[in-house]
Structure 1
Amino acid sequence: MTLKPSEQTDSSTADAGKATPQPAPEKAVGPAAQRRLFLNLALANFSVGFGAFVVIAILPPLASDLGISPATAGWTMTAYAIAYAIGSPIGVAMTGRVDRRTVLTGGLAMFGVGGLMAALAPSLVTVLGARVVMAIGAGVVTPVAASVAIGLVSAMERGRALAYVFGGLTLAQAIGIPAGAWLGYTLGWRGTFLVAALLTLSSAALLRVRLPIGLVVPITTLRALAQALQRPDLAVALLFTVLFMGGVWTLYTFFGPFFEYRLGIGGTGLGVLLLVFGIGAVFGNALGGRLTDRIGPDRTLALLCLAQMILMPVLTLFPFGGGSGGIAGAALLVLLRSLAGWSFMVPQQARLAALEPDLAPILFALNAAAIYVAASLGSLAGGAVLADAGFGPIGPVGAAIVLLALASLPVARRLAARQQLS
């Protein structure tokens, strides 16, 4: 049976930010149907992940074509990050009563239109506007895809479902960004945005056909959003994401220009290094899960902070030699840094869910927004350092920001303990 959106919950339940569980439509219950839906949701995440982060790989040709510096070109990531950070939690809350298929396909369509705008943009200002449109569309896709995945399985299978769906974002790093580097130097940056737009619009069309209407999922509201934002322990826990990822993004935004300058490599060499980074992302996601199970989320996050504080200064200050030896050394450091960076998501999400399970959907949206706040702040910090002092100090500056993230962990624990006693 297909459920109508109005049948999902009564008004009192919606106000509480939850929906009364009901059976999902028969079409989505079977294992084969679930796998197909998960594959399409993963493709949706891959599409927005590719379009969001591919600018990292195409900053050099974009900057050259528009006649701007790499630091100025970095605003293409910063503008996206700011728009996503503001728009995602608000968009998820405001569309809580809208059918999930409509929200997902609408968000993907908006992202695709933004990609087309970027491909045709005559100036940096127009590119920035297009990136804002893309961010607003993407802001509802990933959190809603996660809520749909959870709604299709039992509580015991939620981890597997989320890993499957979020795997699209990981593959966007592992495959999409290196492919984007090749596309950027082959088709140009405009052609890369065009590919991102077509990929996203195709994903929207597939979900429109395969995702049933009336799926029952927890409903997020502005009231639930306000409730989460008013909790000091949750705010500090989310601040960790801003600080940790902010430190990481000080350098990550400028990977392309950095390695072009340090190693004298072009699109092929950069694509290889980004592929290594993507491989680290895939294994880092699995590593984060194992460490969380063995030593707990807080200890895992502390260990990752220490690793980043060592690796980032080494990466930007290490005197790479020429030839294959320099590229091999850079690849090893990139791999280790990616492992330490992408191990972050699982323990942080486990930590947030443990703090307040009833607010988990909105906390996941806020955590995604916090990542983009971090990306914007990190891009700004890295661009400022690059403009004033070159690439060398970017690593130490990023490490200093991560140190603040490490310091926030005991503060959050104390606040959580007080919340439990109140």
Structure 2
Amino acid sequence: MSDAKSDPLLIPVLSASNFVIGMGAFLVVGMLTPIATSLDISAATAGQIMTVYAIAYAILSPLLVAMTGAIGRRRVLAAGLCLFALGAALAAVSSSTLGLNLSRLFAAAGAGLFTPVAAATAAGLSSEATRGRVLAAVFFGLTLAQVVGVPAGSYIAYTFGWRWAFWLVVALALPCIALVWMRVPKGLSFQATKLSDLAQVMKNGPLMLAILFTASFLGAIYVVFTYLAPMLEDLMGFGRDGITLALLIFGAGAVVGNILGGILADKLGPARTLLLVAIGQAAIMPAFSFLPMPPWVVFAIIALWSVVGWSFMASQQSRLIARAPEAASVVLALNAASIYVGAAAGSAAGGLVLATAGPSGLGVAAGLFMLGAVAHVIASNRA
């Protein structure tokens, strides 16, 4: 097995590729209004584009990772990025919600293949003592996408049209495909996985309880996050610049939270860190139901919300790998699927709250969902 230290560019390349995936996956959040206006649909209907992506990712990621377990990691990672770029290109030329939703199936398949395999590759090339920080480094690209990619996509969508935002994703994906092919060692492989390994993990009740905490935690967050832009438009009167700034602040908080999460995972342990961030989120998110507020207060809440929320992933991945190191790829794929199960459930719940209680109901609803996540992580830690 190769050592990551033999190529100092390997982890940055994986992280950069995750940046493109993070931008392509989540830029929809910042441009729901331009998409809705262009296609003559409601914001809630436009939000379903994210829900479709989430469901497709949740179903396809563990299946694709298990089915490609015997293939070299370089080929799998490059194929995932190619599928993702294809999905972005199809989205850019779509003229209906049906076309957009179909394009998101390709994007979800590519992301669902790349991100968990990249995490498993990084984990397999690192020591247990540094695993939290290495995983945080690979995941850094996804958080950086929140800082630069998503706000940039939002600005482009509002200024030039939402299709140009998807073309930007395609343009960024192409060099990443080449870099992955050049930097990931040829023939790099770990213990091969197959569909029976996926079935075995899914039969493990305590392990699945731990994996599904990702869904309950992120589901609560997505009640607010999916509809953050229309909420800020309705309750704060924000336009393009205000929403772009809010997303930029959220992204900066994500970077800080990701780094902090890796440190806390190595220092406090994953279980304590996860309980701490879940309690913090349950306390923060109800504040969104008290809008409008002075803009600086809103931006401060968004920053804190993001830092606490993004402190989650490194700890969760470290906890799961420690419980099933022999099936790391499959476990991380199921964890990645749980991200989008949570995103789909949270987006759907948020859409229902938006339609029935209006944007002011989103914060309280998210806080209540997060209390369920607190109970979930306590139960999974005991199991």
CA contact (8 A) 1:147 1:217 kept: no
**Matching residue within 137, 156, 169 for 1:196:** 169
Matches within 5 A, 1:24-39: 24=2, 31=5, 34-39=7-12
2:359 is paired with a residue whose SS is coil
Partner of 2:138: 165
Deviations 1:354-397 (A, max 9, x none): 33332333211111110100000000000011111201111111
Deviation at 1:151, TM superposition (A): 4.2
2:369 to 371, 393, 401: 401
Deviation at 1:353, TM superposition (A): 2.5
Partner of 1:104: 77
Letter paired with 2:322: A
2:196 aligns to what? 223
What is the identity percentage for the equivalent residue pairs of Structure 1 and Structure 2?
Answer: 45
How far apart are 1:183 and its partner, in Å? 1.2
Match of 2:22 in 1: 49
Unaligned runs of 5+ in 2: none
Counterparts in 2 of 1:163 and 1:218: CA distance versus 1, 3 Å: farther
Change (3 A) 1:159 1:292: closer
Deviates most, 311-320 or 395-404: 311-320
- Aligned residue type for 2:89: L
How far did residue 332 of structure 1 move? 0.4
Offset at residue 30 of structure 1 (A): 8.0
Q: Tell me if the contact between 1:88 and 1:369 (Cα under 8 Å) persists in the aligned partners.
A: yes
- 1:384 paired with 2:352, answer yes
User: Which of 264, 270, 295 matches 2:243?
Assistant: 270
Gaps in structure 1 of 5+ consecutive residues: 1-22, 321-325, 417-422
Contact 1:147 1:218 in 2 (8 A): no
How far has the Cα of 1:53 moved from its partner? Answer: 0.5
Note if contact 1:151-1:216 (Cα within 8 Å) is conserved in structure 2.
Answer: no
Query: Counterparts of 1:214 and 1:41 in 2: how far apart (Å)?
Result: 17
Give me the whole-angstrom Cα distance separating, in 2, the residues matched to 1:66 and 1:30: 46
Alpha-carbon distance, 1:61 to partner = 0.5
How far has the Cα of 1:260 moved from its partner? 1.3
Deviates more, 1:106-115 or 1:219-228: 219-228
Q: Does 1:316 align with 2:289?
A: yes
Whichever residue aligns with residue 379 of structure 1, its letter is S
Of 230-239 and 285-294, more deviation after overlay is shown by 285-294
Matches within 5 A, 1:239-388: 239-320=212-293, 326-388=294-356
The answer to whether the 8 Å contact 2:218/2:339 transfers is yes
CA spacing shift, 1:311–1:282, aligned 2, 3 Å:
same
Q: How many residues align?
A: 383
The Cα shift of 1:155 comes to 5.2
Cα shift readout 1:308-342 (whole Å, capped 9, x = no counterpart):
2221111222332xxxxx22111000011101110
Return closer, same or farther for 1:338/1:360 CA change in 2, 3 Å cut-off. Answer: same
CA distance in 1, matches of 2:365, 2:154: 26
Shift of 1:157: 4.9
Name the TM-score, length of structure 1 as normaliser.
0.86
Post-superposition offset of 1:156 = 5.1
CA deviation after TM superposition for structure 1 residue 90, in Å: 0.7
| TM-aligned CA distance change 1:397 to 1:149, over 3 Å | same
Q: Distance in 2 between matches of 1:67 and 1:293?
A: 49
* Aligned partner of residue 392 in structure 1, secondary structure: helix
Q: Which amino acid aligns with 1:410?
A: I
Q: Deviations over 1:101-151 (max 9, x none)?
A: 221111111111111110000101100110111101111101111233334
CA distance in 2, matches of 1:319, 1:175: 26
- Mean Cα deviation higher: 226-235 or 212-221: 212-221
Residue 371 of structure 2 aligns to which amino acid in structure 1?
L
Cα RMSD (Å) of the superposition? 1.8
Q: Rate the CA distance shift 1:306–1:152 in 2: closer, same or farther, 3 A.
A: closer
